[in-house]
Amino acid sequence: MPLVLTPATDPATGGPLTIGLAGITPDRLAGLSLDAVKGLAVTADERPAELGELFSISGDTADSVLDCQGDFSRVHFVGAGMAAGTIRGTGGVGRHAAEGMTGGRLEVAGDAGDWLAAEMSGGQVVIGGSAGDNVAGALPGSDHGLRGGVVVVLGDVGCLTGQRMRRGIVAVGGNCGAAPAFEMRAGTVVVAGRVGPQPGLGMRRGSLVALADQPAIPATFHRGQAWLPPFIGLQLAELRRAGFQPPSLPAAGFRQWHGDLIAGGRGEILVPEPS
């Protein structure tokens, strides 16, 4: 059976304002007894604490599944650094979920905070609700964001989605905020809803795909041909397997815009071509 964490206090009525769960991942818990798990070091309001002081814990670590039951919106770094296994959240999670993740799967039924999947390099993240700013982005001072894996947010996302990402796929089922694919190096960002202002600024390579919207294209992008790139169908098939349900592809294909010209012009923004 899975290992189950439930907050010991209702976040709406008391308890720590923030809990840091860094290092609590299925691959690192493998083989530990329940008592050993309860004694693991975490933080509460930036002070040292033990996991068993903050959560009711049941189950075992044998099947590499960690269930986070209840409201984890004040719990940060859920799944950070995970290399294998599965973490499932029945509610929302806080900031930096799946940060630096290299493998495994994080499934969250609710929302996620800022910095979801920041600098992740492998694995799969599926968020049933919305997420904050800097999804799959680079941490402050870093030169790279997402470096591999698949990130799916079925709701909306904030600003700077996919900033400085180097490879991998980010899919947004709702709307995204300003400057998606900012300074993108490679990879693909797919948006099913509205695309925020200033998309693709500073992008060097990679693709930003607007499946339905007609965003304002920055002046530093050059108009290209209308076509249907084969990679879009292949990537959408992979995203469907992860739970993403995109709208139908435009019958006339996509209009390609090359840019950002001030950064070499080897990236692209694809928008639906009117029939």
Pick the closest to residue 206 from 250, 251, 268 (CA basis).
Answer: 268
The pLDDT of residue 10 is 77
Kindly tell me if the per-residue pLDDT of 14 is higher than 80: no
CB 177 within 8 A of CB 153: no
Point out which residues pair with 67 in neighbouring strands. 4, 88
CB 257 within 8 A of CB 232: no
Kindly tell me if the per-residue pLDDT of 9 is higher than 90: no
pLDDT in tens, 109-140: 999 999 999 999 999 999 999 999 999 999 99
The pLDDT of residue 186 is 97
- What is the Cα Rg of the chain in Å? 19
What Cα–Cα distance (Å) separates residue 258 from each residue in 27, 203, 207, 216, 224? Answer: 42, 10, 10, 14, 7
pLDDT in tens, 207-232: 999 999 999 999 999 999 999 999 99
Rounded CA-CA distance 210/230 in Å is 15
Each domain of the chain, given as residue ranges in start order, spans 111-272
Kindly tell me if the per-residue pLDDT of 12 is higher than 70: no
Rounded CA-CA distance 192/178 in Å is 15
